[in-house]
Structure 1
Amino acid sequence: MATTKKNTPTKKTVQQKALSRDRLIAMYMDYVLENEKRPKTVYKFCKEHNIKEEEFYNFFGSFEGLRKGIWKNFYEYTIAAINKSKEYESFGNREKMLTFYFTFFEMLTANRSYVLFSLKEYESNMKNLVQLSGLRKNVKHFAADLIRDENAEKSISALQQSERIFSEAAWVQLMFLMKFWMDDNSAQFESTDVAIEKSVNTVFDVFDNTPLERVIDLGKFLWKEKRA
C-alpha cells in the first residue's frame, strides 16, 4: 500500500515562521548594544543571524527604516498600554496627556541603553533626530485628536484651541522631556516624572488662559535641577 509522504517543514520554513518584525527589531537592538555600533550592511547582519537578506526586506527596506520602526513600536506599545486602562476614556485631556507621557517614558526606560546610544550616536543632533520623524507624526496626531475632541464640545469657536499649535507644542514638549530624561541621574528617574507633571500642567494652563503660577513653578524646578 502506497503511503503519502508527509511534508516535513524545512529549515527555511521554520525560520520564516520564527522571523517577525518584532524579532528582527530585537536582533538589531541586541547587535547594537553588544557591538556598540550599527551593523554596516544588511547582508552581513542577515548572515550573522542566519536569515536571508530578502527576509529582512519583507519587513524593512533599510536599517534606517528599521530604526524608525523601533520608535514606531515604542509609540504603538504605549497607545496599546494606555487603551487597556478602563479609566483612560473618562480622563480629561490633561490626564490623558500625562498618562501618555508617563507610559511612553516607562517604555523608554525599559530600553534606555538602546535609546541613549541611538540618540547620541552622531555629534550632529539633526542626524540623531532623523529616526524620530515617524514618532513626531504620531505624537502630533495624538495631541491633535485630544484638542479636536475638546473643540467638538465647545459651541463658541472663539473658545476652541488650535490643533496645529497644540500638536506642535506637544512635540516640542516631548523633545524637551526626552533630553531631560537622558540627563536625569535621579533614582528611578523621579525628576523626570516631576518634569512631566509640571510641564504638562504648564502647557494646559497656558492654553486654558489660567494664572501662570505653574510657569513660575516649572521655571524654579528646572533651575534647581540644572544647578544640582
Structure 2
Amino acid sequence: MTSSSKKRTIDRMYIISEYMNYTLEHDGYPKSVYKFCKDIRIKEEEFYKFFGSIESINKSIWSMFFSTTIDAMTKNNEYASFNSREKMLTLFYTLFEMLTLNRSYVLFTLKQSDLPFKNLKQLQGLRIHLKDFAASLIEEDNEEKQFKFTKNPVSVFSEGAWLQFLFLLKFWIDDESPSFEKTDVAIEKSVNTIFDLFDNTPLNNVLDFGKFLWKEKIMSN
C-alpha cells in the first residue's frame, strides 16, 4: 500500500522554514540544536549537514532573502537593460517586498535584544551581498567614464548603499501606511538622491528627500 503522505525532503530550505515557524510559534529562539531537532522531528546530523549552529540559521535567512530577491529580479527579461539607478531601485523594491512577506519573522528577530547592534549581527552576510551588488553597479558605470577624476569611489558608494538599507529598514519597521506605501516613496527618493549625489546634480532631490523625512518625523510625533 502506498503511503498517502510524501516523505519529507530534509534540505536547507526545509530547516529554515521550520525554524522561522518555530520562532514565531514559541515566541523565542530554540534553546539548543538538540531541542529544535527534536521538536521538528529530524536528526541532529541532518541539521549539521547544512548549519553549524542556531546563530548560523539567523544569518542564512537574511542571505536567503537577498538571493531570492536577486533570482526574482533577474527573471525579468527587462532587467538586463536597466541602468544602475533602475537596478538599485529594483533591488530595494524587491527586497522589501520579500521582507514584507516575512514581516512577522523580521520584526521578531530584529527586536530580540535591547542592544540594537546585537540584533544587527545576523545581517553580516546580507551586508556583504548588498555591498558587492552596489560595488558592481558603480564599477559598471565607471567603465563608461573616460577620465579617472570622473569615476566614483566604489567603496564609498557600496558602504553608502548599506547605510541606505539600514535607514530604509528602520523606516519600513515603523511604517504603518497601507501596503507600506511610504516605504516605497522613501526607497524612490533615497535611491534617486544617492545617484544624484554621484552625478553631481544633488540639490533639488536632496532638498526634496529632506522635506519628506522632516514631514514623516512631524507626522509621527
The normalised TM-score by structure 2 is 0.95
Q: Does structure 1 residue 36 correspond to structure 2 residue 27?
A: yes
* Aligned-pair CA distance for 1:15: 9.8
The normalised TM-score by structure 1 is 0.92
- Amino acid of the structure 2 residue aligned with 1:152: E
Q: Does structure 1 residue 121 correspond to structure 2 residue 112?
A: yes
Alignment match of 2:161 (pick from 164, 167, 170) = 170
Tell me how many residue pairs correspond in the alignment: 215
Aligned to 2:186: 195
Indicate if the aligned counterparts of 2:193 and 2:202 stay in contact, CA closer than 8 A.
no
Query: For 1:17 and 1:184, how far apart are their aligned partners in 2?
Result: 38
Q: Does structure 1 residue 221 correspond to structure 2 residue 212?
A: yes
Identity of aligned residues (%): 57
Structure 2: gaps of 5 or more residues: none
Structure 1: gaps of 5 or more residues: 1-13
* Aligned-pair CA distance for 1:212: 1.0
Superposed CA deviations along residues 75-104 of structure 1, whole A, max 9, x for unmatched, are 000000000111111111111100000000
Aligned to 2:95: 104
Query: For 1:24 and 1:146, how far apart are their aligned partners in 2?
Result: 33
Aligned to 1:208: 199
- Amino acid of the structure 1 residue aligned with 2:172: W
- Amino acid of the structure 2 residue aligned with 1:75: F
Point out the structure with max Rg over C-alpha.
1
**What stretches of structure 1 move > 3 A for 4+ residues in a row?**
14-17
Alignment match of 2:18 (pick from 3, 20, 27) = 27
Aligned to 1:94: 85
Alignment match of 1:49 (pick from 30, 40, 43) = 40
Over the aligned positions, Cα root-mean-square deviation in angstroms equals: 1.3
- Amino acid of the structure 1 residue aligned with 2:14: R
